[in-house]
Amino acid sequence: MAQAPIPGDGRRAAGLLAPAYLWLTLAVFLPLSAMLFFSFLTAAPFGTESPRATLENYRDFFETPTYALLLWKSIRLGLWVTLLCVLIGFPCALVLARQIRGRAREALFLLVILPFWSNSLVRVFSWAIVLRGNGVLDRTLDALLPFDVRLGLMFTPAAVVIGLVHSYLPYVILTSYLALQAIEDDIFDAARALGAGRITILRRLILPLSLPGLIAGAVLVFVPVVGSFMEPRILGGRFGTYFGTVIEDQFVAVFNWPLGAALSFILLAVVLAILGLSSPVLRRGLT
């Protein structure tokens, strides 16, 4: 697998990599290869029909405008959620890494991720209680503000974005924090001694040095959000149909694994293409 320039070095690398990648191969890559194989069949190999090889499932994607429409909608959702997570999360990580010291930081670091040790479905329902008409948010604002508040956020695309940003924000905060916190203080002292202003330090030092962490976080947000279907369904109401929904339908509403698998792999290909096109910035972050 790993062909290294120095033989001993390669063996050590292989030794470290093998457990994780063998595990992934057994539990994910091989099963997914089977799915990839199914996506080229006319029927799933369990039903009454005997399957034949075909490209029809992939052709379906291009011939049904619904799929392309929904994929584009999902990508836009992914970009919005990622952008908001970065804008909200990065400053937060900056404060955590450069401003908070000692035990408080340890505690805050843990507090950021703790909400995610709860069930996601319960969390989404809690958002529904917050956002719905005359829900917690409306009531709180009503109590605080002198005029009547009717936000009407529930069952809108905005509600979907709120729910998803909430679910994925910790990834950006923690990965950015990890990168920011690794930067040595001396660099800043030196920059300041050379007369660099705050903006210059942020733009020329902090951003480039923490970019790998920020990008890792953004990727961990964007990739799963494009395929999400549960948060959109519960919070988005009649606007909550996305590409993940039609994939799920092929498994749940009809027994069409081949089409569902084909749509999943198209999703994967598009996501990887977007990640690839986002280089060279991205390449710096990933290698």
Partner 1 sequence: MTRHLLLTSLLALAAGSATADEIRVLNWQGYGTDLDWAVEAYAAATGNTVLHEYFTSEQEMLTKLRTNPGAYDVVLINAAFTRQAKDEGLIGPIDTTSMTNFENISNGFTTDSELVIEDAVYGVPWTWGLTSFAINTNAFETAPDTIQVFWDPAHKGRVSIRDDALEAVQFGALATGQNINDVKDLDSVEKKLNELMPQIRTFWSSENDWNQYMAADELDLATYWSGSAARSADMGLPVAFVVPKEGAVAWLDGLSIPASSTHKDAATQFIDWMIDPDFYTRWDAEGAPASANAAAAEALADTSFNKRVLGDPDVVARVQFQKPVDDATRETYLELWQGLKARQ
Partner 2 sequence: MTGLRLAGLMWLGLVLIFLYAPILVMAAMSFNASPFYQLPFEFSARWYHDLAENAAIRNAATRSVLIAVATTIIATSLGTAAALALFRHDFRGKRLLKLLLFPPIAIPWLITGTAMLIFFFAIGLGRGTPAVLIGHVALALPYVIVVVNARLAGFDITLEEAARALGAGPWTVTRRVTLPAIAPGIVAGALFAFAVSFDQFVVSYFLSKPGDSTLPVLIYTAIRKGFTPEINAVSTLIIVTSMALMLVVARFFSFGGHR
Q: Does the footprint of partner 1 cover residue 70 (CB under 8 A)?
A: yes
- Which listed residue (233, 268, 270, 275) binds partner 1 by CB under 8 A? 233
Q: Does the footprint of partner 2 cover residue 281 (CB under 8 A)?
A: no
Q: Does the footprint of partner 2 cover residue 260 (CB under 8 A)?
A: yes
Q: Does the footprint of partner 1 cover residue 80 (CB under 8 A)?
A: no
Cβ proximity to partner 2, 147 vs 186, nearer residue: 186
- Which listed residue (175, 235, 236, 240) binds partner 2 by CB under 8 A? 175
Cβ proximity to partner 2, 34 vs 69, nearer residue: 34
> What residues from 166 to 225 belong to the interface with partner 1 (CB under 8 A)?
none
- How far apart (Å, rounded) are the C-alpha atoms in residues 196 and 271? 39
Q: Does the footprint of partner 1 cover residue 135 (CB under 8 A)?
A: yes
**Which tokens sit at 30?**
């091989």
The dihedral built from the CA positions of residue 277, 278, 280 and 286, taken in this order, carries a sign that is negative
> What residues from 112 to 131 belong to the interface with partner 1 (CB under 8 A)?
125, 128
- How far apart (Å, rounded) are the C-alpha atoms in residues 129 and 136? 6
- Burial of 218 per CB tally in 10 Å (0-12, 13-18, 19+): buried
Q: Does the footprint of partner 1 cover residue 254 (CB under 8 A)?
A: yes
Residue 41 bridge partners (DSSP): 53
- What own/partner pairs with CB < 8 Å and gap ≥ 24 does 59-67 have? 60/259, 60/262, 61/262, 61/263, 61/266, 66/246, 67/243, 67/246, 67/263
Please choose, out of 47-55, 57-65, 143-151, 223-231, the segment that lies near partner 2 by the rule CB under 8 A. Answer: 223-231
Write down the least CB distance from residue 249 to partner 1, Å: 6
